[in-house]
Amino acid sequence: MMVKGFKFSAVEAAIKKPGRLDLALIFSETPATLAAVFTTNKVKAAPVVLGMERAKEGVCQAVVVNSGNANACTGSRGMEDARETSRLVAEGLGIPDEAVQVSSTGVIGVQLPMDRVRGGVPKLVEGLESGTLDDVARAIMTTDTFPKLEARQGDAGGVSYTIAGVAKGAGMIMPNMATMLAFLVTDAAVEPAWLRKAFRQAVDASFNVITVDGDTSTNDTALLLANGAAGNVPIHEGTPEAARFMQELQDVVLALARQIVRDGEGATKFVAITVKGASSAGDARQAAMAVANSSLVKTAFFGQDANWGRILAAVGYSGVAVDPDRVALFFDDVLMASNGVFAGGDAEARGSAVLHKDEFTVTVDLGLGEGSATVYTSDLSLDYVKINADYRT
């Protein structure tokens, strides 16, 4: 996957255990405009704290990422390790230390094995001549079962450009900011202030509307680097080029977000929860997220049980305005409840048939207004418990 002016690399550093890629590098040959979003969790990993500090400058030239260790809840040593990792990469690339973003994912509360990082960084730099974005996608995986990549081509004033991205995530997924880890690159030239605004909007409509288990990570980070190597006139807000860029960016991040839900730990179902007819878009989103996070609802999805009452209960406790006598509920196009009561007839059998599919939509119409929102979630299976019961072993 070619994006002009960017190089990629990944190596095995045995951060947690040997046998897999676990240290990755994204390098822009020239300083790139940076847009960044980080976790809202008040317990933030050392690389997040460092990244937030550096993101204020709005410039980045390299991103170094390790999996297998979150470098979170690691005290002052964790910050020292994050800074040393950055310094090692900067020296190897011959760029300013402040131009490096550091990111980590994996087990919380364990010190980063810096001897392995020190041994891996020179190999990372050397591997830039032959590495790929696919290598990066594989190196950032933890409990993921497949690498997550997406790309789109665009055009600005007759000049073609590419937006490409990778993400990781399968558990501890309810970002409330971005995603577990997501790194996007584009060779388009984009006006910096609008790039940051556009990225936040894209994140809000993608990574912020997914949930696997309702947990927000200490390490959530989403970065977008734009280096202008395509050679287009910089894209500015309010132009046709900006509208096209925004659409391509949204397509990439939403596709990555959906891949994360599909790969939810132990997941067997991909479910879109749509709430419409709400008093506001905010109410619709709040109600949809309550349904998407309900353990009772998610276990019913796993059991393929058309227990629509659990869904209405979640909407009822979500905190939004609800009139039970106006609510309608659908599994795909099957009406399960109307005016807050069971639709009757063969609804149970037809609804159960919908839940036997790998992918389906639950629609709740509150009948109160024009607000609507969609949230993406997965079911809650026995395997989710097994995976997380012995995650550290």
Question: Domain map of the chain by residue range?
Answer: 6-262, 270-389
Active site residues: 179
CATH of 6-262, one of 3.40.50.12160, 3.40.718.10, 3.60.70.12, 3.20.20.150: 3.60.70.12
Alpha-carbon gap, residue 227 to 28, rounded angstroms? 7
What pLDDT is recorded for position 152?
97
What are the tens digits of pLDDT across the range 1-59?
A: 689 999 999 999 999 989 999 999 999 999 999 999 998 888 899 999 999 999 999 99
pLDDT in tens, 189-235: 999 999 999 999 999 888 888 887 665 667 789 999 999 999 999 99
Q: Would the annotation count 179 as a binding residue?
A: yes
Instruction: Give the end-to-end CA distance of the chain in Å, rounded to a whole number.
Output: 35
Q: Is the pTM of this model over 0.85?
A: yes
With contact defined as beta carbons under 8 Å apart, do 168 and 140 qualify? yes
CB 358 within 8 A of CB 309: no
Query: What count of Cα atoms within 13 Å lies in the side-chain half-sphere of residue 64?
Result: 32
Confirm or deny that 393 is annotated as ligand binding: yes
CATH number of 270-389: 3.10.20.340
Q: Under DSSP, is residue 149 helix (H, G, I), strand (E, B) or coil?
A: strand
* Cα of 98 vs its chain's centroid, Å: 25
- Are 35 and 154 in contact by the 8 Å Cβ rule? The answer is no
**Phi/psi of residue 300, each to 5°?**
-65, -40
Is 69 annotated as ligand-binding?
no
What six digits make up the tokens of 138?
């594989």
Predicted pLDDT of residue 381 = 83
What tokens appear for 62 in the block?
A: 């390299």
For the chain, which residues score pLDDT lower than 50?
177-179
Ligand-binding annotation for 265, yes or no, is yes
Predicted confidence at residue 178, as pLDDT, reads: 45
**268 exposed, middle or buried (CB, 10 Å; 0-12, 13-18, 19+)?**
middle
According to the annotation, is 80 in a ligand binding site?
no
Is 41 annotated to bind a ligand? Reply is no
